[in-house]
C-alpha cells in the first residue's frame, strides 16, 4: 500500500502530456517492459471517497488498459517469464507483467475474470500476518477511526496530543497526522498494539478491514491453483523492513517463504517490499531479498524496465496503476518511459 511518489508523478505526467514529449521520447526512454502495480480492483468500493481510493481501480479500467496495451504490442507474461525476458535484455519484444499487493478478495472476484479474458497473468503478493491477524490494514483502520470521531487523543511520551477530526478537511489532516505518527513515531514492532489500542478506545473494530477486504487462506489456496496466478511474498507482517533490526528484517524477508509453503504447498519465488519507497527499502533490504533466494523483488519506485535491470533483479521498479488517475493517456505516458527520469531526478535506470 501507500503510493509515496504520487505528487511527483502527477507533475511528471502533466509535463509529459502538455509538452507532447511522450510519443517523441519513446524510442530513447521506452525501456523493454513494465511491471504494473495494483492493489484493489472493484466496481463497488465500500467508501468511494476514501483517502485510500488511490489503491483501487475499476474493473472496467483494468479491462481497457490491458486491451490498449495489447493493441500497442505488449505481451502480458507471468513474473517468471518477465525475469527471463529481463535477463535476455528484452529480446522477446515489449512485455508487461501485472502484480497486486496484499491479496485483496476483489483480485479473485473482479480482476481474475478479466485477466482470464485477456490471458494476462498476475502475481499476488501475500503477507501471511495480514491474513492471520498478526498485522492490520492499518491505513484503513486509521480512516475508520478518523471517520468515527470528532476528535482523537494520542498518548505520546511527551504528553497527550489531541487531533481535531470534526470536519472533512480536518479529517484529511488527521489521517495524514496519524500516518506520520504510526510510520515514524511509533516503533515498527509496536505498530499493531498502538493501532489496536487506538481502535479499541474509539470504538472501531481493527479486524474489520482485513476480514472484509482480504482473501482468507482457502481463497488464497484456490486462486493460487489458477494457471494465471503466481503467489509472491510480501514479508510476514507487512513490515517496513528498513525500520527493523537486521535479525528481524531478515526473518520477515526469509521466513515468510516457509510460512507460505506451509499454507500453499509451494515456496514463493518472488517478493515485494511492503511500502517499497526509499524509507522502506535500501541496499540492506535488497541484500536480504537476494539472500533469501527469491528470483525477483519489486519496489514501488516509479519506472519502466531496462535491459540493465538484469543486474538488479531484486530492486525492480513498477508502474502504479493509481485509482486517482484512471486514464489511458496517463498509462501510455508512463509506459513511454518519459516519466521515469522525470520522477527520479533524471535517472533512466531506476533501482532503489
Ligand atoms: Zn502492501
Quote the ligand 1 centre to 130 CA distance (angstroms): 10
Cα(19) to ligand 1 centroid in Å equals 34
Report CA(20)–ligand 1 centroid distance (Å): 34
Under 8 Å between Cβ of 85 and 35: no
Cell of 218: 482457502
Give distance in angstroms: CA of 154 to centre of ligand 1.
25
Give me the helices (H) in 191-310, please.
191-201, 208-213, 217-224, 246-264, 283-291
Give Cα 63 to chain centroid, integer Å. Answer: 19
Give the Å distance between the CA of 123 and the centre of ligand 1.
Answer: 13
CA dist 332 and 40 (Å) reads 21
For position 134, what pLDDT does the model report? Answer: 97
Task: Collapse the DSSP code of 230 into the 3-class scheme (helix H, G, I; strand E, B; otherwise coil) and give the result.
Answer: strand
Q: How far is the CA of 28 from the centre of ligand 1 (A)?
A: 32
Say how far apart CA 229 and CA 346 lie, in whole Å: 35
CA of 92 to the centre of ligand 1 (A): 30
Q: Which residue ranges of the chain lie beneath pLDDT 50?
A: none
Length of the chain: 352
pTM score: 0.94
Taking the centre of ligand 1 as the mean of its atom positions, its distance from the CA of residue 344, in whole angstroms, is 22
Ligand 1 mean position, distance from CA 32 (Å): 25
Closest by Cα among 295, 313, 317, 314 to 304: 317
CA 40 – ligand 1 centroid, Å: 11
| Ligand 1: centre distance to CA 25 (Å) | 32
- Cα(39) to centroid(ligand 1), Å: 8
* pLDDT at residue 49, rounded to an integer: 84
Amino acid at each position: 500500500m501507500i503510493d509515496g511518489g504520487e505528487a511527483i508523478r502527477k507533475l511528471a505526467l502533466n509535463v509529459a502530456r502538455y509538452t507532447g514529449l511522450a510519443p517523441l521520447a519513446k524510442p530513447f526512454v521506452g525501456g523493454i517492459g513494465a511491471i504494473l502495480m495494483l492493489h484493489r480492483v472493484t466496481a463497488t468500493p465500500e467508501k468511494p471517497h476514501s483517502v485510500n481510493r488511490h489503491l483501487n481501480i475499476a474493473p472496467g479500467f483494468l479491462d481497457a488498459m490491458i486491451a490498449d496495451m495489447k493493441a500497442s504490442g505488449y505481451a502480458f507474461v507471468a513474473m517468471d517469464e518477465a525475469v527471463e525476458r529481463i535477463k535476455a535484455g528484452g529480446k522477446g519484444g515489449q512485455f508487461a507483467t501485472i502484480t497486486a499487493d496484499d491479496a485483496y478478495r476483489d483480485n479473485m472476484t473482479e480482476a481474475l475474470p478479466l485477466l482470464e479474458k485477456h490471458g494476462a497473468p498476475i502475481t499476488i503478493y501475500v503477507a501471511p500476518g495480514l491474513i492471520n491477524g498478526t498485522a492490520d490494514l492499518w491505513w484503513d483502520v486509521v480512516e475508520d477511526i478518523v471517520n468515527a470521531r470528532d476528535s482523537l487523543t494520542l498518548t505520546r511520551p511527551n504528553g497527550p496530543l489531541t487531533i481535531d477530526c470534526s470536519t472533512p478537511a480536518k479529517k484529511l489532516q488527521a489521517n495524514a497526522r496519524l500516518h506520520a505518527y504510526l510510520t515514524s513515531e511509533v516503533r515498527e514492532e509496536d505498530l499493531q498494539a498502538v493501532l489496536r489500542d487506538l481502535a479499541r478506545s474509539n470504538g472501531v473494530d481493527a479486524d474489520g478491514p482485513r476480514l472484509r477486504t482480504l482473501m482468507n487462506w482457502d481463497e488464497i489456496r484456490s486462486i493460487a491453483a489458477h494457471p494465471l496466478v503466481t503467489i509472491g511474498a510480501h514479508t510476514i507482517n507487512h513490515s517496513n523492513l528498513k525500520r527493523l533490526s537486521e535479525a528481524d528484517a531478515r526473518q520477515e524477508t526469509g521466513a515468510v517463504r516457509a510460512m507460505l509453503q506451509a499454507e500453499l504447498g509451494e515456496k514463493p519465488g518472488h517478493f515485494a517490499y511492503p511500502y517499497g519507497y526509499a524509507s522502506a527499502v535500501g541496499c540492506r533490504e535488497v541484500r536480504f531479498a537476494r539472500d533469501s533466494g527469491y528470483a525477483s523483488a519489486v519496489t514501488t519506485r516509479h519506472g519502466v524496465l531496462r535491459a540493465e535491470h538484469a543486474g538488479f533483479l531484486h530492486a525492480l521498479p513498477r508502474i502504479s496503476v493509481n485509482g486517482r488517475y484512471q486514464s489511458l493517456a496517463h498509462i501510455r505516458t508512463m509506459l513511454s518511459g518519459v516519466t521515469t527520469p522525470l520522477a527520479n531526478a533524471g535517472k533512466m535506470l531506476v533501482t532503489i
